């Protein structure tokens, strides 16, 4: 039997006894895999795989009429198939269901409703988005999904249309994903949706009073609502000899291409920094059979975010794959192909990549007079100190209802979900940004998922075993779980997300 015909033929009928209330299973209709689930008297049939990276939705969690993906927590409405929360944007297919004689039959696939923009009436005439990244893309997509019929101008200083940035340090860099997979959507998406995407268009200033932005070339563009989503830029090492042409950083598609180009002839690489990006770059270079040395000041990689046990595990995992750590030391100078370390040792490397963290690009917001305090300060609706001007993504510091702190994070899914919420609020909605922060990171074949936000904790409990690659770690402060990190415990990770959201809703 072909893989896409696994499970029962749902068109021939499934006994209700085989699908109890709340249950879900995968079968097929023709050669398509379909997930069926019963929720009370209702039954639903939707595509079995997430439209983000094809995660198996049967392993996900059903909450309030929607299914959440086990891999990166995208969320789909069971009735309509709509991708209601990033990181997925495309809807699931849905099928009609007939219930008869104690059986459930999956019938024909429903046609997808086409979204036609309404004429802008009463709402903003023109929305300008500064930034062609995660938050900017998600906002533009949501504006059109909401049938916003006014103008959308998206200004990006990037050379490429919005890309799947996480892939730039993982599959694309490792050589296991072709470049066609990297754009967030095909080029026709922008023209089909009348999104005026202008690449290589750096915004030099925002005049909040006059409600216009000025491009570096001098052109001015007026706006009725503005979203600032300028992201972050990699920190470059400020040590002797660290010229940008010799020490590469990774943020854009061009950066990733440049590393791949050098990797074609490199034999040995030095990665400065044991951050998520640094470690993912190291793993991808190992996949290309390059000898990798990781240099970092901390005692254990990722200890500050995940604690010592995860730190030891991550180190061992990378060492198992041949990476060499130089910890509790830093690069002090680059001298041709030699990386000199502060402990006196020297690494010979023909490729050097710095993964030293990022700085939020807040300069534009600051010069526009928006309130900035370790990020652009926004309220629960993601509006800045200037009415009608919103901020989202890596630059935004928002009041997080889960930790009761004002936080700024650098996570892909958060940036996209903030873009979506900002879009709704730019159209006059009053939607709070209350999603529990989520990120994932991939090291070789091991995904680490993290929900919540814990900058400090006083208790760390681990269910199962981190070293056994099957665990759920809870980061608590004063008895309250602030964050959960997991390996191959996707359902519990989703349950933790729901608990955090419900606790907030109390
Ligand atoms: C290689 C890599 C891998 C990552 N992997 C993960 C991961 O696995 N999981 C995870 O949770 N997070 C990951 N992240 C982090 C994630 O990508 C970011 O949190 C996310 O992209 C932030 O979205 P953003 O929209 O705020 O900024 P960005 O996506 O960086 O977009 C900012 C945009 O603003 C534009 N811009 C900046 N200034 C101006 C200006 N003045 N005028 C016009 N345009 C401007 C930029 O050109 C860019 O298009 C990764 C990041 C990188 C670089
Ligand atoms: S595969 Fe489903 S959210 Fe990524």
Cα(first)–Cα(last) distance of the chain, in Å?
A: 49
Backbone angles phi, psi at 36, to 5 degrees: -115, 145
| Count of beta carbons in the 10 Å neighbourhood of residue 469 | 13
- The tokens 């192909």 sit on which residue? 337
Whether the Cβ atoms of residue 227 and residue 136 lie closer than 8 Å to each other:
yes
Distance CA 23, CA 13 (A): 16
Pocket test for ligand 1, best of 52, 71, 133 (most atoms within 8 A of CB): 133
Distance CA 478, CA 459 (A): 8
Sort residue 335 into left (φ over 0), alpha (ψ -120 to 50) or beta: beta
**What was the pLDDT predicted at 115?**
64
Please give the helix or strand (H or E) that residue 205 lies within, else none: strand 203-207
- The tokens 């340090």 sit on which residue? 169
Q: How far is CA 260 from the centre of its chain?
A: 22
CA dihedral 56, 61, 63, 68 (to 10 degrees): -40
Q: How far is the CA of 134 from the centre of ligand 1 (A)?
A: 6
What is the residue-averaged pLDDT of the chain?
A: 95
**What was the pLDDT predicted at 505?**
46
Distance CA 228, CA 376 (A): 9
Q: Which residues of the chain have pLDDT under 70?
A: 1-5, 114-122, 504-506
Please give the helix or strand (H or E) that residue 282 lies within, else none: helix 276-287
Backbone angles phi, psi at 82, to 5 degrees: -60, 140
Q: Collapsing DSSP states into helix, strand and coil, what is residue 400?
A: strand
Q: How far is the CA of 237 from the centre of ligand 1 (A)?
A: 20
Does the beta carbon of 301 sit less than 6 angstroms from any atom of ligand 1? no
Distance CA 359, CA 396 (A): 12
Give residue-wise pLDDT tens across range 450-504: 999 999 999 999 999 999 999 999 999 999 999 999 999 999 999 999 999 988 6
Q: Which ligand is nearest to the CA of 90?
A: 2
**Cα angle vertex 373, ends 133, 137, to 5°?**
15
- Within the chain, how many helices (H) and strands (E) appear? 11, 36
**What was the pLDDT predicted at 333?**
96
Pocket test for ligand 1, best of 174, 394, 422, 433 (most atoms within 8 A of CB): 394
Measured over the CA atoms of residue 91, residue 92, residue 95 and residue 100, the dihedral's sign is negative
Q: How far is the CA of 72 from the centre of ligand 2 (A)?
A: 4
Does the beta carbon of 358 sit less than 6 angstroms from any atom of ligand 1? no
Give Cα separations from 190 to 161, 197, 213 (angstroms).
9, 7, 21
Q: How far is the CA of 494 from the centre of ligand 2 (A)?
A: 12
Tokens matching residue 66: 């929607």
**What was the pLDDT predicted at 117?**
60
**What was the pLDDT predicted at 1?**
42
Q: What is the atom index within ligand 2 of the atom nearest the CA of 69?
A: 2
Distance CA 179, CA 168 (A): 10
Q: How far is the CA of 57 from the centre of ligand 2 (A)?
A: 9
Distance CA 145, CA 82 (A): 10
Distance CA 337, CA 265 (A): 14
> Of 64, 102, 95, nearest to 81 (Cα)?
95
| Count of beta carbons in the 10 Å neighbourhood of residue 465 | 12
Backbone angles phi, psi at 497, to 5 degrees: -60, -45
Q: What is the atom index within ligand 2 of the atom nearest the CA of 88?
A: 3
Q: Kindly give the pairing relationship between strand 42-47 and strand 61-63.
A: unpaired
Does the beta carbon of 134 sit less than 6 angstroms from any atom of ligand 1? yes
Q: How far is the CA of 438 from the centre of ligand 2 (A)?
A: 12
Tokens matching residue 456: 């400090």
Q: What residues does 188 pair with on adjacent strands?
A: none
Whether the Cβ atoms of residue 228 and residue 384 lie closer than 8 Å to each other:
yes
**What was the pLDDT predicted at 356?**
96
Does the beta carbon of 166 sit less than 6 angstroms from any atom of ligand 1? yes
Q: How far is the CA of 229 from the centre of ligand 2 (A)?
A: 23
Pocket test for ligand 2, best of 50, 59, 414, 449 (most atoms within 8 A of CB): 50
pTM metric for this prediction: 0.96
Ligand 2 binding residues, C-beta < 6 A: 50, 52-53, 55, 69, 71-74, 87-88
């Amino acid at each position: 039997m072909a893989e896409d015909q696994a499970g029962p033929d749902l068109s021939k009928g499934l006994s209700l006894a085989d699908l109890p209330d709340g249950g879900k299973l995968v079968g097929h209709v023709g050669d398509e895999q379909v997930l069926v689930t019963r929720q009370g008297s209702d039954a639903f049939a939707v595509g079995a795989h997430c439209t983000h990276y094809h995660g198996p939705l049967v392993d996900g969690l059903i909450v309030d009429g929607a299914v959440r993906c086990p891999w990166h927590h995208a969320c789909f409405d069971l009735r309509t198939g709509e991708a209601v929360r990033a990181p997925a944007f495309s809807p699931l297919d849905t099928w009609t269901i007939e219930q008869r004689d104690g059986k459930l039959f999956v019938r024909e696939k429903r046609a997808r409703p086409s979204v036609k923009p309404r004429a802008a009436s009463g709402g903003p005439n023109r929305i300008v988005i500064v930034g062609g990244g995660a938050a900017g893309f998600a906002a533009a997509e949501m504006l059109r999904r909401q049938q916003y019929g006014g103008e959308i101008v998206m200004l990006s200083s990037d050379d490429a249309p919005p890309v799947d940035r996480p892939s730039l340090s993982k599959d694309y860099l490792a050589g296991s994903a072709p470049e066609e997979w990297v754009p967030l959507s095909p080029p026709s998406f922008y023209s089909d949706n009348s999104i005026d995407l202008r690449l290589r268009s750096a915004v030099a200033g925002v005049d909040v009073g006059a409600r216009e932005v000025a491009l570096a070339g001098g052109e001015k563009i007026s706006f009725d609502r503005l979203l600032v989503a300028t992201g972050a830029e990699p920190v470059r090492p400020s040590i002797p000899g660290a010229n940008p042409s010799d020490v590469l950083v990774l943020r854009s598609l061009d950066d990733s291409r440049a590393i791949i180009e050098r990797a074609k002839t490199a034999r040995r690489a030095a990665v400065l920094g044991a951050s998520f990006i640094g470690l993912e770059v190291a793993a991808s270079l190992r996949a290309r059979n390059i000898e990798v040395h990781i240099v970092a000041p901390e005692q254990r990689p990722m200890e500050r975010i995940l604690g010592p046990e995860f730190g030891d595990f991550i180190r061992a995992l990378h060492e198992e794959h041949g990476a060499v750590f130089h910890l509790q030391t830093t690069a002090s100078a680059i001298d041709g192909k030699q990386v000199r370390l502060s402990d006196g040792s020297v690494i010979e490397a023909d490729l050097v990549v710095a993964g030293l963290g990022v700085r939020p690009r807040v300069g534009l917001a600051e010069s526009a007079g928006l309130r900035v305090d370790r990020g652009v300060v926004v309220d629960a609706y993601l509006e800045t100190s200037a009415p009608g001007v919103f901020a989202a993504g890596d630059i935004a510091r928002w009041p997080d209802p889960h930790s009761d702190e004002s936080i700024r994070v650098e996570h892909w899914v958060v940036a996209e979900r903030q873009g979506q919420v900002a879009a709704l609020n730019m159209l006059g909605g009053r939607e709070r940004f209350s999603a529990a922060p989520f990120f994932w990171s991939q090291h070789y074949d091991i995904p680490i998922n993290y929900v919540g936000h814990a900058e400090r904790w006083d208790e760390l409990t681990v269910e199962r075993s981190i070293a056994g690659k099957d665990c759920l770690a809870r980061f608590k402060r004063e008895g309250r779980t602030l964050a959960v990190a997991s390996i191959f415990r996707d359902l519990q990770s989703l349950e933790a997300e729901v608990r955090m959201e419900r606790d907030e809703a109390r």
